[in-house]
Amino acid sequence: MAFLLSFFVPLVLSALSAGRPSSSRDFQVGKSDTYATQLPLVIWHGLGDDYAAEGMQNVAALAEEVNPGTYVHIIKLADSPDGDRQASFLGNVTEQIAKVCEQLGSEPILSTAPAVNALGFSQGGQFLRAYIERCNFPPVRNLVTFGSQHNGIAKFQSCASSGDWICRGAEALLRFGAWSNFVQSQFVPAQYFRDPDDLDAYREYSNFLADVNNEREVKNSHYKSNLMSLNRFAMFMFEDDETAIPKESAWFAEVNSTTGRVTHLRDRLLYKEDWLGLKALDKQGKLYFETVPGGHMHLTDKILTRAFREYFAPVEDESSWFRGLITQGSW
């Protein structure tokens, strides 16, 4: 291992500083004559959205406008927008994440980039975190999530329209029971459902969240080491969110369903025993708790622009981060 690191680290750093051909897409020359890398951006949309939606395209365009040269990849789980939207309601999340791991790992620009940044909207945020924990190739440098349900939902949201048959059909699955094998393998929101009053059932039957949150007795150290490889992890919570319940889930907080008492992440066992590496990230100043005014996914260009500038700007000096990434075994 020591031989491999002594050989591979200089090789990677050399490629970043001189060996790779520069282009407007991924390299910009700074005033100090050192290369600044504009990393690609991967986006995963939320429930009921699709990769071709106008909102997603506008976000991609804004990302490129704020940080010129940004290559944006919007994750899709089907070849058609309708199919992709359906997959946000129906499907096995574990299988979907495996598909995304293959998708990103085989995309030429992403797979040859030194790293990527990642942006998750609503459920797309916890799904991107699961991507990092389970495969992380290409590796994610900075992860930003907006209104994501990192600690799950305690209540299912209702369909916005009675004529939304995809949503209605998915909702109808709940008649089989949230913890049935059928629902846990088919209804996407059920796979991050977490009832704080029924944690035994959750830990036993959850198809997705109990695993990626390392809440079962046997902890997956690979999940922890991969998440700890992040350079920055920013979690945005909407102040008036009434869609994702509880809204504090965006910060990994736990809310008592009877009293409404909030147990913040730093007061939870998940943090104290550091099941996911969040405590380690926090102690290094790499974990950010951000708030956004308004309801769920009520985003403005001003808010997004600030996030893009703060978390997705060109990387001036990334040698220490890459050395740490390789040492931790994520590459």
Q: Going by DSSP bridges, is the β-strand pair 35-37/27-29 parallel, antiparallel, or unpaired?
A: antiparallel
Catalytic residue among 84, 88, 122, 249: 122
Amino acid identity at 326: I
Structure tokens given for 188:
């996407």
Q: Which of 57, 128, 51 is nearest to 83 (CA)?
A: 51
Sheet holding 72-74, edge to edge: 72-74, 41-44, 116-121, 140-146, 232-238, 287-292
- Cβ neighbors of 106 (< 8 A, separation 6 or more) are none
Tell me whether residue 282 is one of the annotated catalytic residues.
Answer: no
Catalytic residue among 50, 241, 274, 330: 241
DSSP per residue, 264-303: -GGGSHHHHTTSSSHHHHHHTT-EEEEEESSSTT---HHH
Tell me whether residue 198 is one of the annotated catalytic residues.
Answer: no
Q: Do 75 and 100 touch, CB atoms closer than 8 A?
A: yes
Tell me whether residue 122 is one of the annotated catalytic residues.
Answer: yes
Catalytic residue among 45, 73, 150, 296: 296
Alpha-carbon distance of 286 to 225, in angstroms, equals: 14
Q: What positions carry a catalytic annotation?
A: 122, 241, 296
